[in-house]
């Protein structure tokens, strides 16, 4: 067993104001995305101004927060929010869904490309490599908060989380940070170093995230109010399976089309 570090979720207090690590992780993710997209756009010869790049980050941030919250409401706790509609906007009480955030960002990028005149795949591929960075930061924030912990286990690196009872559990937040964050970033960055059909990086992320999430869900404790939704299947796995299928299909279509047009 490894002792859980019990880091204070609030890293700075100024009077009544509280600044939390989880919010800082979002800020770090968006800031890093700005500089990575800027560098990759320059390397690929994509003309995007500083103002356009700033607008892209703003669109993405709005999509993440709005979609993430709406996704949590719809996918994870709809009956509760139907009874307490005023709580739907209470993001400070927790409750964000990656799958909802992904849908929100997708809509935001479509709107951004339509308004700025960029091809959708151009922007989607530029941003794809930055999403694992944000995910990695976010999962570290989950770990600091002691939330989304894993299932009980007896592995040597298990931890007792403050909100998880006396059982020693998988630190599944760190598994997700390593896979959805580190591994997926390396894979997409490596693929992006060579010429690929438009959309390859985006669909690689879609499929790769689905695979990583399905795997980690076997170690992560299901949401208490949901449990398993069908046998051993969790909601996270149910929502991720279509990502794997769609990503694989679109990658195959993209490479087939590229071969036909050579």
* 67-120: pLDDT as tens digits: 888 888 887 778 878 877 877 776 656 677 888 889 999 999 999 999 999 999
For residue 85, being part of any structural domain is answered with: no
Adjacent-strand bridge partners of 14: 17
Outline where the chain has alpha helix (H): 21-43, 50-76, 78-83, 98-116, 120-128, 131-145, 172-176, 184-191, 200-216, 235-260
For residue 214, being part of any structural domain is answered with: yes
pTM of the model: 0.90
For residue 233, being part of any structural domain is answered with: yes
pLDDT score, position 94:
64
Residue 262 has pLDDT above 80, yes or no: no
For residue 45, being part of any structural domain is answered with: no
For residue 124, being part of any structural domain is answered with: no
Residue 234 has pLDDT above 80, yes or no: yes
- The total number of residues shown for the chain amounts to 262
For residue 99, being part of any structural domain is answered with: no
Instruction: Report the number of distinct structural domains present in the chain.
Output: 1
Exposure on the CB side of residue 157, measured as CA atoms within 13 A: 7
For residue 125, being part of any structural domain is answered with: no
pLDDT band at 184 (very low <50, low <70, confident <90, very high): very high
For residue 197, being part of any structural domain is answered with: yes
pLDDT score, position 93:
60
Domain range spanning residue 224? Answer: 1-10+136-262
């Amino acid at each position: 067993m490894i002792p859980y570090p019990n880091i204070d979720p609030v890293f700075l207090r100024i009077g009544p104001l509280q600044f939390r690590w989880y919010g800082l992780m979002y800020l770090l993710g968006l800031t890093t995305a700005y500089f990575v997209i800027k560098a990759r756009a320059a390397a690929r010869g994509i003309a995007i101004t500083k103002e356009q790049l700033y607008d892209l980050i703003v669109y993405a941030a709005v999509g993440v927060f709005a979609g993430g919250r709406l996704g949590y409401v719809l996918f994870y706790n709809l009956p509760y929010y139907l009874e307490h509609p005023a709580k739907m906007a209470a993001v400070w009480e927790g409750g964000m869904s990656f799958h909802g955030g992904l849908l929100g960002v997708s809509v935001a990028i479509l709107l951004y490309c339509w308004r700025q005149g960029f091809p959708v795949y151009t922007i989607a591929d530029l941003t794809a490599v930055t999403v694992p960075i944000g995910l990695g930061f976010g999962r570290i924030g989950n770990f600091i908060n002691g939330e989304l912990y894993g299932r009980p286990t007896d592995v040597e690196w298990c931890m007792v989380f403050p909100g998880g009872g006396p059982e020693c559990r998988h630190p599944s937040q760190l598994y997700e940070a390593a896979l959805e964050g580190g591994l997926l970033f390396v894979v997409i960055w490596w693929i992006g170093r060579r010429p690929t059909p438009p959309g390859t990086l985006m669909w690689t992320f879609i499929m790769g995230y689905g695979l990583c999430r399905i795997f980690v869900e076997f170690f992560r404790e299901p949401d208490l109010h949901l449990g398993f939704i069908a046998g051993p299947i969790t909601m996270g796995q149910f929502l991720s399976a279509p990502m794997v299928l769609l990503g694989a299909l679109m990658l195959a279509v993209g490479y087939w089309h590229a071969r036909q047009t050579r």
